[in-house]
Structure 1
Amino acid sequence: MPDFIPYGRQSIDEADIKAVCDTLRSDYLTQGPVVSEFENAMAALSDCKFGVATNSATSALHVACLALGVAAGDYVWTTPNTFIASANCALYCNTSIDFVDIDPITYNLCPEQLERKLIEAKKSNTLPKVIIPVHFAGHPCDMQALARLADTYKFKIIEDASHAVGAKYQEKPVGSQYSDICIFSFHPVKVMTSAEGGMAVTNNPKLAKKMHCLANQGITRAPQDLNEPSPGGWYYEQQSLGFNYRMTELQAALGLSQLNKLHLFIEQRRDLAQNYYKLLRHLPIRLPGEATYASSSWHLFPILLPEALIEKREQVFTALREAGIGTQVHYIPVHTQPYFQKLGFQWGDFPISEDYYFRTLSLPLFPALTLDDQERVVAVLSNAIDKACIG
């Protein structure tokens, strides 16, 4: 049996291992100078002034919502085509969640669908306080179009760029314009990793201060922020109900080391995507693309099977898995999950997202994937599709 090829895999080298080991030998393991260095480096990458490191992107999304004042009685909208964290972060704030269907080409939150929904929401006085567009698979949303609607309807924007570290919109880094806060993920299958970890970047000093405080149990030690005069250097105040969402020095050390290779990771992913285009062009499938405004970081390579094979998707999926190809489905639409159905959502609410879900498969894509691996993936996929068509 050939080696298993996962859909995603971290790329760790000796420099990464040394960075973590050096930190293990230092005076700090949890909160120390490396976390701050990583925050500053991620802010610089994003052309932003401030970075706030957290233990996951989910945590970063949560504190971003809280920093923007999301609370009971508010509405937050996101896309159904995402991991559940993009919606759960709003529910953590005891607010109402809703969804906007996707663009059938980019698979991202659709500005036209959003505008139609905003027009109706204004009539019922249910406009969202925050919109969370997700840069699915590393492809940026059309942020300028969303920002235009934000100006008109007075909502805030949190970019969920968990898939899109290093991606660009209009030739500028995602997160650098058109949003209030941008979130990155460093999970091992993402473009770069800190094992687990997340980051919020912003140009707003007040939002950065709020997120730092919320991620650190709601505690502040800064003399200028204290309500009472400090009796000594030990003094701190809990000024809000916060959380233990802090990133460790070990995670930050790995993240900093990975950041040094980010340009190479993205270059390798883009080359692999181009090779998939060449290898897959003969198959009756839809390939992902890039809008003219976007430069994807290619976290995922999602293909769409033809409508005629919707009922055979499981057959194709199983054939790939049995041949050692770690295909995956990204994502089951959030609104169809049992928990969200209890909130009143149901199948049929967002048909474009649902059609995409029924037809999609993600093919392996990570820097260490070889051209031989890709040829093997395509050969197995081609054979599986041929059998599905015949059967």
Structure 2
Amino acid sequence: MTLDKRLGLRFLPYGANYLDWPDMHELRAAIEHGVLFRYQTETESVASRLERRVGERLGAGHVLAVHNCTEALRLALVSTRPRVGDVVHIPAVTFVAVAGAVLSSGLIPVLVDVDDSLSMDTSLIPEGAQRAIVAHMEGTVAPLPDGVPYVIEDSAQALGATFPDGRHTGTRGYAGTFSFHHNKVLTSGEGGLLVTNDPAAWETMRCYHDHGSARVPGRYPTWNEDAYYGENLVTSEAVAAIQYQQFRHLDEVLSGLERHHAIAMDDLPERSGLDLLPRAAGDVKISLRFRCESRELRDAAVTALTERSIANWTLNKYLLPDHPVVAGRRSLYADGFPWNLAPDKTLALSRDGFARTRDLLDRTLCVPLSPELSEAEQALAVKSVRQALEAA
């Protein structure tokens, strides 16, 4: 593959570039075993091995593998034993799956405006709030609100990120969720992880995720005497095996991103009206985030990069106040559930109706970094980005 091709609009970002058949030892073993349901085998499942490895790597007391991060969010919410119609404070800038997880749990999302880094402005959360989901967007470590008993960290885009105290994102709140979707740090196409340090919460989560009972490996199905209804959120051995292979390369991916980011910081574009947003030491450097002086300059930069086949994206699609699900209170239920449970509740917390946030998003541009490239290739990639942006 030529360098130009590797630096172009790649559809296999980050961990996908480390998928390799000779490295798929766990997947081969699972297939040769002939059992792809984790609770059907009397030996230790690949999913259990994955959970143990993740717990050790992230410093999490308990880990549960599920189908995707949206399910992990719902599972975390349900484990707090809410009442239908309870509110959950979520950032106004994040993927719609966060709002969807809240709504599909029978709860009401309250949008909280963001700060200049596009992280939730925790100063807007009212006293007495019970539940909040904080999204660590674009690998940026977001602050957690104080005084909220159930803080769920959405670390879908921040696997490997750390707080200043050294703890990993996802491990400081009540629970943390991670995604292995195709364009995340690591990938299994789909796949999610849920972590918590609360033993009681863990027991609730692992029961609810498999029809309300804690399974005994090799003796499926068995039922707890105190079983309650749940769902089938159990991952498969095949997906867990790919995640395990990916986890083997996490440090390699993170160090490659750090190196590419450092090279970019030493060769910034000389272009007025274009600033590179700073990254904290613990952030996962999945992209360069530029703040332009105007929407027109942002659009010109997008055009210049795209014409040179350099991958880039904008963030306007993450503004939840403008999403049909939220703006139109969309629901498949005939009575509008669960929106109908909160007709008079304030569903947004912003000082200016999100005007400042819209302006920030209109002027923000992201360019991905490539951990799999050699140092020399990364330097060439940075040069290409610089030349494109200086020509915009």
Q: Is the CA contact (8 Å cut-off) linking 1:335 and 1:346 kept in structure 2? A: no
Q: Is the CA contact (8 Å cut-off) linking 2:212 and 2:231 kept in structure 1? A: yes
Distance 1:373 1:46, change over 3 A: closer
Question: What amino acid is the match of 1:189?
Answer: N
1:300 aligns with 2:292: no
Q: Distance in 2 between matches of 1:245 and 1:166?
A: 24
Q: What is the match of residue 136 of structure 1?
A: 137
Q: Is the CA contact (8 Å cut-off) linking 1:171 and 1:295 kept in structure 2? A: no
The structure where helix makes up a greater share of residues is 1
Pick from 192, 207, 210: which aligns with 1:213? 207
Distance 1:19 1:222, change over 3 A: closer
Distance 1:221 1:252, change over 3 A: closer
Pick from 121, 138, 141: which aligns with 1:110? 121
Q: Distance in 2 between matches of 1:354 and 1:245?
A: 36
Q: Is the CA contact (8 Å cut-off) linking 1:43 and 1:50 kept in structure 2? A: yes
Q: What is the match of residue 157 of structure 1?
A: 151
Q: Give, in angstroms, the shift of residue 234 of structure 1.
A: 5.2
User: What's the TM-score once normalised by structure 1's chain length?
Assistant: 0.82
Q: Give, in angstroms, the shift of residue 84 of structure 1.
A: 1.1
Question: What amino acid is the match of 2:158?
Answer: A
Q: Give, in angstroms, the shift of residue 263 of structure 1.
A: 1.2
Q: Distance in 1 between matches of 2:70 and 2:170?
A: 20
Q: Distance in 2 between matches of 1:351 and 1:257?
A: 44
**Structure 2: gaps spanning 5 or more residues:** 40-44, 330-346
Residues 266-275 or 29-38, more deviating: 29-38
Q: Is the CA contact (8 Å cut-off) linking 1:161 and 1:182 kept in structure 2? A: yes
Q: Give, in angstroms, the shift of residue 373 of structure 1.
A: 5.8
Q: Give, in angstroms, the shift of residue 266 of structure 1.
A: 0.5
1:355 aligns with 2:340: no
* 1:296-349 alpha-carbon deviations (Å, 9 max, x no partner): 122333222222xx1343343233223212211235211211221113779962
**Structure 1 residue matching 2:24: 3-state secondary structure:** helix
Q: What is the match of residue 322 of structure 1?
A: 307
Q: Distance in 2 between matches of 1:170 and 1:383?
A: 34
Question: What amino acid is the match of 1:339?
Answer: V
Residues 82-91 or 311-320, more deviating: 311-320
Q: How many pairs does the alignment contain? A: 357
Residues 183-192 or 318-327, more deviating: 318-327
Distance 1:137 1:179, change over 3 A: same
Q: Distance in 2 between matches of 1:159 and 1:60?
A: 11
Q: Distance in 1 between matches of 2:110 and 2:314?
A: 22
Q: Give, in angstroms, the shift of residue 68 of structure 1.
A: 1.1
Q: What is the match of residue 270 of structure 1?
A: 258
User: What's the TM-score once normalised by structure 2's chain length?
Assistant: 0.82
Pick from 225, 233, 247: which aligns with 1:259? 247
Q: Is the CA contact (8 Å cut-off) linking 2:271 and 2:389 kept in structure 1? A: no
Pairwise CA RMSD: 2.8
Q: Distance in 2 between matches of 1:78 and 1:233?
A: 38
Q: What is the match of residue 367 of structure 1?
A: 371
Q: Is the CA contact (8 Å cut-off) linking 1:330 and 1:361 kept in structure 2? A: yes
Q: Distance in 2 between matches of 1:203 and 1:215?
A: 17
Distance 1:262 1:5, change over 3 A: same
Q: What is the match of residue 71 of structure 2?
A: 59
* 1:199-249 alpha-carbon deviations (Å, 9 max, x no partner): 1111111211211122223334469xxxxxxxx985425933322222111
Q: What is the match of residue 12 of structure 1?
A: 19
Q: Distance in 2 between matches of 1:76 and 1:290?
A: 28
**Structure 1 residue matching 2:84: 3-state secondary structure:** coil
